[in-house]
Amino acid sequence: MQPGPAMIDHLQNELKPGEQLLWWGIPDPARRAKTASTVTPAYILYGTLILLAIGLIAFNIHLISEEIALLEGPDLFTIILLVISIALLLINAYRIYVTYNTTHKYVNDLRKTIYGITNQRVIVMTAGTPSFSVNSYTRDEMGQIIRVETDDGWGDVSYGKPRQIQRGGRILTIVEKLVGIPNVRKVEDLLIRTFKSPQPVPGGYPPQAEAPAQSYPPMPQHYMQQLPPRE
């Protein structure tokens, strides 16, 4: 299932009673903000180790052939070194595969994702086969809202609280974000107004207090995108 009218319908069906959809958007992986990445250094490191392993394998094969010719058989240490070199080659080739597969899966998931902002939460819905996954982030789960914008108004907005995950032998700190979205300033403004502005006092404001200039939450028509035409 690709993002489109069907996914928008699923997003609408996710809404709870009294919940309003203020904005929805479909991420474009090619338009996301370019930030510092650990992928390229990982490719360089593993690629260097693979070249080193190939050199050691070639050296050991040559050494074994020399030992067979001169000593009527290879030395045990040379055989062990050859096995270690082959293991080094396979381990680092697997690491490159895992790194590529993780990056490819992330980009592929973005192409099947739709974002929604309601007056109660941020919804991230990703289509799968045959179902889809839904993650929600409420006001209490909102962290610092940070915008990273490109020259044409696209970019990312991070909104989650930092959390740590283990990936392989590394511990990474990640923050939930809306990635590769248009009009990123407008989305940042919507997140701030909806989740960072003070909520209204039940029963009205005290006599000496003034109501905030911006009502809570923002009106949907200020932000709602136009639904694509159905085919």
Higher pLDDT, 220 or 82: 82
- Buried (b) or exposed (e) across 51-77, using 16+ Cβ within 10 A? eebeebbeebeebbeeeeeeeeebeee
Mean of the pLDDT values across residues 15-41?
81
Would you state the pLDDT for residue 228? 45
Would you state the pLDDT for residue 170? 65
Would you state the pLDDT for residue 221? 42
Handedness of CA 45, 50, 53, 58 (dihedral sign): negative
User: pLDDT-derived band of residue 184, with 50, 70 and 90 as boundaries?
Assistant: very high
User: Residue 208: is its pLDDT beyond 60?
Assistant: no
What are the boundaries of each domain within the chain? 5-27+111-197, 39-107
Mean of the pLDDT values across residues 158-187?
83
Q: What angle do CA 147, 148, 151 make, to 5 degrees?
A: 125
Cis peptide leading into 5, omega within 30 of 0? no
Whether 110 and 29 have beta carbons less than 8 Å apart is answered as: yes
Would you state the pLDDT for residue 203? 46
Distance between CA atoms of residues 12 and 2, nearest Å:
16
The tokens for 172 are 């990474």
The model's pTM: 0.65
Beta strands in the chain (DSSP E): 21-25, 113-118, 121-127, 132-138, 142-149, 155-160, 163-167, 170-174, 177-181
Mean of the pLDDT values across residues 144-167?
86
For the chain, percent of residues with pLDDT exceeding 70? 77
User: Residue 83: is its pLDDT beyond 90?
Assistant: yes
User: pLDDT-derived band of residue 100, with 50, 70 and 90 as boundaries?
Assistant: confident
Whether 132 and 125 have beta carbons less than 8 Å apart is answered as: yes
Q: What are the tens digits of pLDDT across the range 211-231?
A: 344 444 444 444 444 444 444
Would you state the pLDDT for residue 215? 42
Query: Out of 48-52, 78-82, 183-187, 205-209, which region has the weakest mean confidence (pLDDT)?
Result: 205-209
Would you state the pLDDT for residue 169? 60
Write the CATH number of the domain with boundaries 5-27+111-197.
Answer: 2.30.29.30
